[in-house]
Amino acid sequence: MNYPVVKGAAYALVQANSMLLHQGSTQITERLKNEQSEHLKALPEHLRSFEDAVCYPPNQAYIGNITPDQLKEIPHPWYENPIAGASRDGKYGEIMPEDEFFGLMKMVDSFDLVVLEESFQAAVKEKLQSHPILKDIKEITKLDSTAHSADEIQKLVAEHNAQPLYFAGKLVGCVKKAHEFDEALSSEVMLGNLANKASAVLVLKQLLAKTGLNPEQVDYIIECSEEACGDMNQRGGGNFAKAIGEICGCINATGSDTRSFCAGPAHALVEAAALVQSGIYSNVVVLGGGCTAKLGMNSRDHVKKGMPALEDMLGAFAVHIGENDGVNPVIRTDAIGRHKIGSGASPQAVMTAIVTDPLDKIGYKITDIDRYAPELQNPEITEPAGAGNVPMANFKMISALAVKRGDIQKADLMKAVDSFGMPGFAPTQGHIPSGVPFIGHARDMILEGKIERAMIIGKGSLFLGRLTNLFDGVSMIMEKNSGVVATDTGFDQEQLRKMIAEAMREFAKSFRE
Amino acid sequence: MDLENQARIKDLCDKYGNEDLIVVLGGAEPEASGLAAETVATGDPTFAGPLSGVSLGLKAYHIFELKDEIPADVYEEQVGMMEMVLDVDEIVNEVKTYRK
């Protein structure tokens, strides 16, 4: 059988302090309740510089400049142990400052909703014109004209409900609403969707640049963030995937959006693997851009504890799934884990369905997987907010299951965690931490012969949508390529063997009767 | 504590009173479990939800404290793995604080 392979992965981060203050849902709620709140007054003092965000060790792990194992060696708090001389450019992508990102938002905006102030626009145009991979996007010409004066922007914000965009303390632009009355096209929704689209464009451009994939070779794009694009009559109509592919020159691709809260990317990867293995498409890209609403989500706790507001990063990722090339790690499509509707909601039932059921299918033990990548939230963000160390909790659960199954001794529970775990290094952007940040590292580690296989796990909290209390989770195993590429002769030897065996059993039975 | 849950607990308390009503928690962290216990006892300390300034006086127990009340096989199936993973003593101590 020819399994599909992971041909490449790219990752991008955008530092977004202005959007944290003005469009993060925690701050929006706070402002509605009390515009003069202590939190809103204190928060600006806790924002960090772009340089600090670049040197922050988990961000360097996310874009591939250090491995999760190297991150593990850096003492906490990571924000007090920056990596000196760290670069915004990474092995898998980049970290972008907010001014350039506002320029990119305007470039990808098809309906002239993003308005930038004249001198600011000229400055970001210059920066983006020298950006190694964004300069060739033809929509860069949007930065040549239609700039507005500061007064015009002020008026749009004050009188027309436009969302303000600040940089270095100055109002430098805004995002207008796309409809007079439609809530699904409000300025707040449009800003979130455009930021999502722009960050996904950034990461897809990175994927194309880093892996040499020709945009014209992309057959299908699956977008799997948690935003909804539509209007009042079809609020989640879509289609982010095609909107993103259009900007990146994927002229031969179509695409669609897949949703399942934080488990979305894992579902999308399985769908991509299936589309490739079936032969329907040869090259599928799974991607997701960042979420503005989640910026500064736990900032109340970070401010209270005297920490920097670490949730200032929009996250984005893109993964290329292609046909078996005999080299890249395969996706074991015969061992996909899934939390079924009838699986039950206890943590044990969930982990059994996602982790051990698929292992049982192919005769593996828990310890046969070298690395598990469940929800990889950076614990430095979640612990101060009382949500604990999420990846560590997952590793312990997997280890406890191994004890219950007799794969390891109880005394070795933490030893197993240490062996197959890793520190969380992803921003708390919902779908972003859900297993996928490790795909790039896992691919490299497998290609370098450091590990044989890894399990990527996505889990989602469906109750947040108030339609069901069901949980969700999907997993897939990435494994070293055997190097054998089966040629499709239309002749299935295994099937034939089964048919002959069946015929002989029937024949033997007829003798007994 | 989740704002929606705060509203639901408040409604239940309004309907049934607080004498024969307890809250069973399943939190994985001592701090978050303690916060939930405090919220249903003396009110939402974060002043974010419907229980801000509302003292229901409800007693909260973590599921770990109710082990003896539950058939052993059910407990093992539903909670056994997490009992192995979480810091049971710390969570229970934190939750107990708010019943005093």
For B49-58, what is each residue's pLDDT tens digit?
899 999 999 9
Residue A354 makes CB contacts below 8 A (sequence gap 6+) with A337, A338, A339, A457, A459, A473, A474, A475
The answer to whether B82 contacts A401, with C-beta atoms less than 8 Å apart, is no
Residue A503: pLDDT over 90: no
Closest CA of chain A from B80, distance in Å:
8
Band the pLDDT of A513: cuts 50, 70, 90.
Answer: low
pLDDT at A489: 57
Beta strands in A155-282 (DSSP E): 163-167, 170-175, 220-223, 254-257
| Cα gap A156→A218, rounded to integer Å | 39
A327 contacts A66 by C-beta, under 8 angstroms = no
- B residues 4-63 near A, CB within 8 Å? 4, 28-29, 31-32, 35, 46
Sequence-distant (≥ 6) Cβ neighbours of residue A80 within 8 angstroms: none
pLDDT tens track for A55-64: 999 999 999 9
Pairing verdict, β A163-167 and A114-116:
unpaired
Query: How far from A494 is each of A3, A304, A490, A505, CA to CA, in Å?
Result: 16, 63, 12, 17
Cβ of A396 within 8 Å of Cβ of B85? The answer is: yes
- Does A300 touch chain B if contact means CB atoms closer than 8 Å? yes
Residues of A in contact with B82 (CB under 8 A): 347-348, 397, 400
Half-sphere exposure of A86 (CA within 13 A, CB side): 26
Q: Which tops the pLDDT comparison, B100 or A371?
A: A371
Q: What is the pLDDT of residue A488?
A: 62
Q: Do A347 and B31 touch (CB under 8 A)?
A: no
Mean pLDDT of A198-222: 98
Predicted confidence band at A498 (pLDDT cuts at 50, 70, 90)?
confident
For chain A, domains (ranges, CATH) are 5-479 (3.40.47)
Report residue A450's pLDDT band, with 50, 70 and 90 as the boundaries.
Answer: very high
For residue A512, pLDDT beyond 80: no
In whole angstroms, give the CA distance from residue A95 to residue A88: 5
Please indicate whether, in this complex, the C-beta atoms of A347 and B81 are within 8 angstroms of each other.
yes
Asked if residue A495 has pLDDT above 80, the reply is no
Out of A348, A387, A404, the one facing B32 most closely (by C-beta) is A387
Polymer length of chain A: 513
Q: Does the pLDDT of residue A490 top 70, yes or no?
A: no
Q: Sheet containing A114-116: which strands, arranged edge to edge?
A: A114-116, A170-175, A163-167
ipTM of the complex: 0.78
pLDDT tens profile A110-136: 999 999 999 999 999 999 999 999 999
- Residue A445 buriedness (CB in 10 A; 0-12 / 13-18 / 19+): buried
The residue with greater pLDDT, B74 or A495, is B74
Any long-range contacts for A125-132 (C-beta under 8 Å, 24+ apart)? A127/A99, A127/A100, A127/A103, A128/A100, A128/A103, A128/A104, A131/A100, A132/A209
Query: What average pLDDT does the structure give for chain A?
Result: 95
Q: Is the Cα torsion angle A462, A467, A470, A475 positive or negative in sign?
A: negative
Contact by Cβ (8 Å): A154, A180? no
Reported as a single tens digit per residue, the pLDDT across A466-475 is 999 999 999 9
* B85 near A CB under 8 A: yes
> What confidence tens digit (pLDDT) does each residue in A257-294 have?
999 999 999 999 999 999 999 999 999 999 999 999 99
What is the amino acid identity at position A246? Answer: E
Angstroms from A358 CA to nearest CA on chain B: 19
Mean pLDDT of A390-399: 96
pLDDT at A432: 96
Residue B3 has pLDDT above 90, yes or no: no
**A434 vs chain B: nearest CA distance in angstroms?**
19
pLDDT per residue as tens digits for the range A26-81: 999 999 999 999 999 999 999 999 999 999 999 999 999 999 999 999 999 999 99
Contact present, A258 and A267 (Cβ < 8 Å) = yes
pLDDT at A494 over 80: no
Identify the residue with better confidence: B2 or A4.
Answer: A4
Sign, CA dihedral A185-A191-A196-A201, equals positive
CA R_g for chain A? 24
CB contact under 8 A, A400 and B35: no
Residue A116 backbone dihedrals phi, psi, to 5 degrees? -120, 150
Angle of helix A98-107 relative to helix A118-129, nearest 10 degrees, comes to 90
Chain A residues 340-369 within an 8 A CB cutoff of chain B = 346-349, 351
Main-chain dihedrals φ then ψ at residue A456, nearest 5 degrees: -100, 125
Helix, strand, coil abundance in chain A, percent, nearest 5: 45, 15, 40
Is A490 near chain B, with CB under 8 Å? no
pLDDT in tens, A315-355: 999 999 999 999 999 999 999 999 999 999 888 999 999 99
Of A263, A321, A318, A264, which is closest to residue A473 (Cα–Cα)? A263
CA distances from residue A289 to A204, A342, A493 in whole angstroms, order as listed: 9, 31, 43
Mutation site, A33, A355, A395, A397, interface B, largest B CB count within 10 A: A397
| Distance from the Cα of residue A146 to its chain's centroid | 33
Dist CA A268 CA A321 (whole Å): 11
How far is the C-alpha of A79 from the C-alpha of A307, rounded, in Å?
9
Contact, A495 vs A506, CB < 8 A? no
Region A377-405 average pLDDT: 94
B28/A393 touch (CB, cutoff 8 Å), yes or no: yes
Q: CB under 8 Å to B87, separation ≥6 — which residues?
A: B30
**With an 8 Å Cβ cutoff, are A400 and B84 in contact?**
yes
A182-202 average pLDDT score? 98
Residue A228 has pLDDT above 80, yes or no: yes
pLDDT at A492: 67
Rg of chain B taking only CA atoms, in angstroms? 14
Beta-bridge partners for A441: none
- pLDDT at residue A203 in the model: 98
- Structure confidence at residue A454 (pLDDT): 98
In whole angstroms, what is the distance from residue A229 CA to residue B85 CA? Answer: 40
pLDDT tier at A422 (50, 70, 90 boundaries)?
very high
Percent helix / strand / coil, chain B, rounded to 5 = 60, 10, 35
> Is A387 in CB contact (< 8 Å) with chain B?
yes
- Tokens 């984005």 correspond to A316
pLDDT of residue A326: 97
Question: What pLDDT is recorded for position A505?
Answer: 82
Which candidate in A39, A343, A346 is best for mutational testing of the B interface (most B CBs within 10 A)?
A346
Residue A195 to residue A106: CA distance in whole angstroms: 10
